[in-house]
Amino acid sequence: MKVLLIGSGGREHALAWALSASPLLTKLYCAPGNPGIAEAAECVAIPATDHDGLLAFAREKGIDFVVIGPEQPLVDGLWDKLEAAGIKTLGPSKAGAVLEGSKGYVKDLCAENAIPTAAYRRFDAPGPAKDFAATLGLPVVIKADGLAAGKGVVIAQTREEADAAIDAVGGDMVIEEYLDGEEASFFVLSDGEHVVPLGGAQDHKRAFDGDKGPNTGGMGAYSPAPIFDEAVAAKTMDKIVRPTIAAMARRGTPYMGVLFAGLMIKDGEPKLIEYNCRFGDPECQVLMMRLKSDLLTALLAARDRQLAHLDLRWSDDAALTVVMATRGYPGDYAKGSAISGLDAASEHARIFHAGTALKAGHIVANGGRVLAVTATAPTIADAQRRAYEAVDKIDWPEGFCRRDIGYRALKR
Ligand code: AMP
Ligand code: GLY
């Protein structure tokens, strides 16, 4: 089976690595990929935004199945385009990807189906939004409605901050109550009707140790997450995920693909913060390290509406990943700094490339998040130790990482 994977980050390197182990696979392509992905797939220089180019490539090579890593092509309808051309693709469809594309849509869906989430109201103008925000306690949460790559959320600590954030959004927005608790991520695979859990993880969104500094795409993750125990997982499936999948089916827009639920957990009760229509990055890296079953079989079953017959096996080991980023990230940073020591580091951990390039045969940094150094061990503590042993073998003066990935789990 010929598979085309779309994307170029650490998530896609982890997917490429897992897909390349499949007995069903005859050839793996990745568009556009990166030098790490090139070890597992043939990379082709087509950007994820070039839907016509991707379709033409898939036709030319006779691609049997397409897996889309990032949210933007899904929200932009790449699934619909490829499927309309007869090319099997892991969703969701454009209509399904609204679960990530519109925060207001998700909040209304939660309200209609009694799914636990923060109290909220939707607005399309600043005046009434400010009046409503003033009725909530502090902090108060302001969310722009569309896709914002994690930048559309403000947690305002004062009334002035709240008003300024509301003015900055200007148009469609959600104002909601602040939820207290501990965050976790939960992943499932859906075929539109049946749902198979893919496990829980926790990431670290702030740039610096102790959860200080600006928000990032994620500086590290681990799985399993002790706070996301079996009881919480069962509640999340029953009260949040299954009602959502059922509601999407009733609306005539069945959700097929990976669904990522961002949760706030307090006293063992999960509430939905947000949905994403894809794997998390770097959560995908730790999930793929723990998956013992064949990923390609599972993703195909979701596409073919066969999940009722699928049973996935997971390692009991813990996996932990440390993201190495270029100094300056998530603000301005330089590209092109040289990285060495990757071979020595690979003896301790698996190094997924997130933002690298090849320059004169040498690996250089080519993005904000650059490497995801990922280790497994029977305990989170041991996985953490192994991951940092590998990090310490990497010689990259222009890079930085957090030194405390996993601290919440280790504190428990
Ligand atoms: P989102 O872009 O929806 O993932 O939000 C980014 C981050 O803001 C989340 O990961 C949470 O840390 C935080 N957040 C969003 N909504 C809330 C809320 N209602 N209460 C507390 N924290 C929130
Ligand atoms: N690590 C969070 C995300 O992928 O959205």
Measured CA to CA, the distance from residue 137 to residue 157 in angstroms comes to: 10
Q: Can you give the pLDDT at residue 250?
A: 98
Q: What is the pLDDT of residue 149?
A: 53
pLDDT confidence band for 145 (50 / 70 / 90): confident
**Residue 100 Cβ contacting ligand 2 at under 6 Å:** no
Q: Is residue 412 very low, low, confident or very high in pLDDT (cuts 50, 70, 90)? A: confident
**Cβ 232 under 6 angstroms from ligand 1:** no
What is the best residue among 216, 274, 276, 278 to mutate for testing ligand 1's pocket, by most ligand atoms within 8 Å of CB? 274
Whether 406 is in the pocket of ligand 2, judged by its Cβ within 6 Å, is: no
CA–CA–CA angle 188, 193, 195 (5° rounding): 25
Ligand 1 atom, smallest distance to 150 CA:
2
Query: How big is the CA angle at 75 (ends 321 and 56), to the nearest 5 degrees?
Result: 95
Is residue 118 predicted with pLDDT exceeding 90?
Answer: yes
Structure confidence at residue 147 (pLDDT): 72
> Residue whose CA is closest, atom 4 of ligand 2?
280
Ligand nearest to the CA of 176: 1
Closest ligand to 274 CA?
A: 1
Whether ligand 1 lies within 6 angstroms of the CB of 274 is answered as yes
Which residue from 121, 138, 153, 169 has its CB within 8 A of the most atoms of ligand 1, so it is best to mutate? 153
Percentage of the chain modeled with pLDDT above 70: 99
Work out the burial of residue 206: count CB atoms within 10 Å of its CB; fewer than 13 is exposed, 13-18 middle, 19 or more buried: middle
Q: Is the CB of residue 99 less than 8 Å from the CB of residue 259? A: yes
Q: For the residues 177-189, what does the mean pLDDT come to?
A: 97
Mean pLDDT of 111-135: 96
Q: Would the CB of 147 count as within 6 Å of ligand 1?
A: no
Q: Which two tokens stand for residue 204?
A: 């670290």
C-alpha span between 355 and 8 (Å, rounded) = 8
Q: Average pLDDT of the chain?
A: 96
Residue 120 tokens, joined: 């909220």
List the residue whose alpha carbon is closest to atom 5 of ligand 1: 153
Ligand 2 binding pocket includes 280 (Cβ within 6 Å):
yes
Residue 281 Cβ inside 6 Å of ligand 2? The answer reads yes
Q: Quick one: which ligand is closest to 262's CA?
A: 1
Question: Which residue, judged by its Cα, is nearest atom 5 of ligand 2?
Answer: 280
pLDDT band with cut points at 50, 70 and 90 for residue 146 = confident
- The verdict on the CB of residue 69 being under 6 Å from ligand 2 is no
Instruction: Extract the tokens encoding 240.
Output: 């949040």
Ligand 1 pocket test, candidate residues 71, 110, 155, most atoms within 8 A of CB: 155
Terminal CA-CA length for the chain: 45
How far apart are alpha carbons 397 and 339 in whole angstroms? 8
Does residue 203 line the site of ligand 2, with CB under 6 A?
yes
Residue 150 has what pLDDT? 52
Q: What is the average per-residue pLDDT within 323-348?
A: 97
Given this model, what pLDDT does residue 225 score?
96
Question: Beta-carbon neighbour count of residue 330 at 10 Å?
Answer: 19
Return the ligand 2 atom nearest residue 280 CA: 4
User: What burial class does residue 28 get, using C-beta atoms within 10 Å of its C-beta: 0-12 exposed, 13-18 middle, 19+ buried?
Assistant: buried
pLDDT, position 196: 97
Look at residue 139 in the predicted model and tell me its pLDDT.
96
Q: How far is the CA of 234 from the centre of ligand 2 (A)?
A: 22
Q: Rounded to an integer, what is the distance from CA 19 to the centroid of its chain?
A: 17
What percent of the chain is predicted at pLDDT more than 90?
95
Contact 142, 151 (CB under 8 A): no
Predicted confidence at residue 70, as pLDDT, reads: 97
Sign of the alpha-carbon dihedral angle for 34, 36, 39, 41:
negative
Q: Are strands 2-7 and 65-68 parallel, antiparallel or unpaired?
A: parallel
- Residue from 186, 206, 281 whose mutation best tests the ligand 2 pocket (most atoms within 8 A of CB): 281
- HSE-CB for 410 with a 13 A CA cutoff: 14
Q: How far is the CA of 348 from the centre of ligand 1 (A)?
A: 34
- How far does Cα 286 stand from its chain's mean position? 11
Tell me the three state secondary structure of residue 233.
helix
Question: Band of the pLDDT at 148, cuts 50, 70, 90?
Answer: low
In the block, tokens 């994977």 appear at 5
Q: Which among 86, 99, 4 is positioned nearest to 42, based on CA atoms?
A: 4
| Ligand 2 centroid distance, CA of 280 (Å) | 4
Helix (H) or strand (E) holding 57: helix 51-61
- Write the CA distances from 127 to 64, 103, 139, 159, integer angstroms: 51, 20, 19, 14
Using the mean position of ligand 2's atoms as its centre, give its distance from the Cα of residue 221 in Å. 10
